Structure 1
């Protein structure tokens, strides 16, 4: 093969590969981009290494770089690894720590913040934690996922998401040439059986009896659980409720956006029973603590397990979150209120973006009526089984 000349390099404009010998090529793409590539083969493995753009790297310099790379490969040195090491590229473990530090401030769930690194530490770091983040490849990721893919499907899916987040971050930082081929990794993993886990809920027909039994107890946990039921709020929203959020004269509880799952402020209209409950909490207010339902530790909220224990002590295999399902099924089967009113009561966001853009209402007054009827149902008041919105 005839070697290239400086003049020939300048004249090469048609798309293609122009060889210089010893595996060195000038490549011209369809858009006219020109770059140097050297192909090196050792032990049956062939690899291409980029040497830079032809507009900045001369023919002479390209030959020198190609010769250096051939020498490194022959000596058993990985040129790419050496290049990344010299550039200060972190290991996967170090990169994961940096990603966690950058993103944890935007995560509302403290449990998620703690588990994010713990999952990687348990299943990814032992396999490739000390490998440069630029060199973590699809086979290593597939093997780490395959070890728990069927045994712990939910954990495996979270692990997949977190590995991908670290790799994508590395690409954005310039530590990698490209992302992992996740589609190929997915195809190489066995199919998981879909298992949709719903929060165990109490049938609404059993709720009046449950509430009567609940009110026979006088603990902070049982009071918080009653608030969960009467407001149809999430347990975390109730456990972290503060007195400044409550306006008992206006009969509203306004939860700020930063405490809501969807990131939008939510105003809950309070029924007579809910107002009475919050009034009963006033004597429990602690100095220098705005929490409505303070925990046992000073300045700390109740734990989610506190509410779970109340339910377990009552002999029920349901969850605190499940009472939102109880409310939603009751609203659908026992009232004539529109779906969007019941969904707004649960602070669910309208999935139809076009409809949401025009339907700019939170249905507050209709929700106030609905929550009033709900509280009466919880108390076992008769004559509220079927409610018409036309009354």
Structure 2
């Protein structure tokens, strides 16, 4: 511990200009440190309580320095006041440097917890864009959250979001758009789970359904209004098919192919030549293009093989294209139905239902096969 120093006056301190550490008294361990460049600052030196051995084997006490500000910005009186306050803490077993480090860590933790919901959404959407098998799915994540969640939760810290806030965001669409609302809830849950995993919040996820929101909101399955895709009546198909086959445009050929194979519009429009074995009359759709993420093999009827052979063929590339080999627009077949005056009677997806009805009602196909 430093020897008791004589208490210097303010004038005497002002005259301390030689490089080194000068004891000023008035508080044990208080020094004015002067650098070679002439800058001056206050330092309080105190023992840590730790003992070490010198090179000669003699024990010595370990001291620690804590800065109290520059001189003369920090006056002698102020420096002594600070030094006495620290001495009082040391007497209670509180190390000021350790306390300062803990306070810095606490501030850092608080900064992490102040991450806004909108910032968390941006981070999660970026991850989903990298994971998504198609850009449309990633876009849906960004759009639904921006439309239904960010307006209510966007500026809030993720650490402050509770069940009441999530409920407030979902209630306006829960009854009118139950399917969308259920997806929004799941996506809010994912965003908050990401925030928890990255240290931005703690505690249960307020967007979780089971044992949480299910106590304050009706189950989506109880309020969802199932809207069936409009399906062409079986008896209307021959006349419609005749008109469809009379067209020579690519959307018509794509729709005819989708009808013949019972495929979804995305599966048909994304079909590539390398997926087909025309000699074996099979179409193998890879897992990444299937809704269920499983490879799907489709047997091709002779008329479907004939339709494919009528198209410009290649070893690779899309089967149904528009100018310069580009993929047909997602709405190409829907727009075709509208142009043919069938918008109110049928949808592209509805032809799957028509095929299923035909197999059940007009053929002896076993149920499981159908």
Kindly indicate whether the alpha-carbon contact (under 8 Å) linking 2:287 and 2:295 is maintained by their aligned counterparts in 1: yes
Q: How much does 1:289 deviate?
A: 6.9
231-240 vs 109-118, greater mean Cα deviation: 109-118
1:314 aligns with 2:345: no
Distance 1:87 1:257 in 2: 40
Decide whether aligned partners of structure 1 residues 175 and 221 sit closer, same or farther in structure 2, where only a CA change above 3 A counts.
Answer: same
User: Which residue in the other structure is 1:247 paired with?
Assistant: 277
Alpha-carbon distance in structure 2 between the residues aligned to 1:218 and 1:301: 17
> CA offset at residue 134 of structure 1?
2.3
What is aligned with 2:328?
302
Residue 159 of structure 2 aligns to a residue whose secondary structure is coil
Matching residue of 1:103: 128
Within 5 Å, which residues of 2 pair with 1:144-223?
144-178=169-203, 179-180=205-206, 182=209, 183-189=211-217, 193-223=223-253
Contact 2:118 2:154 in 1 (8 A): yes
Return 231-240 or 333-342, whichever deviates more: 333-342
Q: Give, in angstroms, the shift of residue 314 of structure 1.
A: 1.8
Contact 1:253/1:269 (<8 A) preserved: yes
User: 1:232-381 residue pairs with structure 2 within 5 A?
Assistant: 232-282=262-312, 285=313, 290-296=317-323, 298-316=324-342, 317=344, 318-342=346-370
Distance apart, 1:338 and its partner CA: 2.2
Note the C-alpha offset of 1:119.
Answer: 1.5
1:214: how far off? Answer: 0.6
Where structure 1 has 5 or more consecutive residues not aligned to the other structure, the ranges are: 1-58, 73-80, 343-391
Hey, what's the Cα distance between the residues in 1 that align with 2:341 and 2:93?
82
Cα–Cα, structure 1 residues 60 and 149, in superposed 2: closer, same or farther, change >3 Å? Answer: farther
Q: Identify if the C-alpha distance between structure 1 residues 60 and 268 changes in structure 2 by more than 3 Å, giving closer, same or farther.
A: farther
Structure 1 residues 83 and 60 mapped into 2: Cα distance closer, same or farther (>3 Å)? farther
Gaps of 5+ in 2: 1-91
Would the aligned equivalents of 1:89 and 1:133 in 2 still touch at CA under 8 Å? yes
Paired residues of 2:360 and 2:367 also in contact (CA < 8 A): yes
1:142 pairs, out of 167, 182, 190, with 167
**How many equivalent pairs are there?**
269
Separation in 2, partners of 1:82, 1:167:
21
**8 A contact 2:286–2:296 mirrored in 1:** yes
Deviations 1:115-155, CA, capped at 9 Å, x for gaps = 21112112222222122222211111111111222333333
RMSD, aligned CA: 3.2
Q: Whole-Å Cα distance in 2 between the matches of residues 187 and 206 of structure 1?
A: 48
| Aligned-partner SS, 2:194 | helix
Partner of residue 149, structure 2:
124
- Alpha-carbon deviations, 1:185-230, whole Å to 9, x = none? 3433467633012211112222122111111111100000000011
Match of 2:115 among 70, 90, 113: 90
Query: How far apart are residue 84 of structure 1 and its match?
Result: 3.9
Higher relative CO (CA 8 A, sep ≥ 6), structure 1 or 2? 1
Residue 254 of structure 1: SS of its match in structure 2?
A: strand
Q: Conserved in 2, the CA contact under 8 Å of 1:289 and 1:299?
A: no
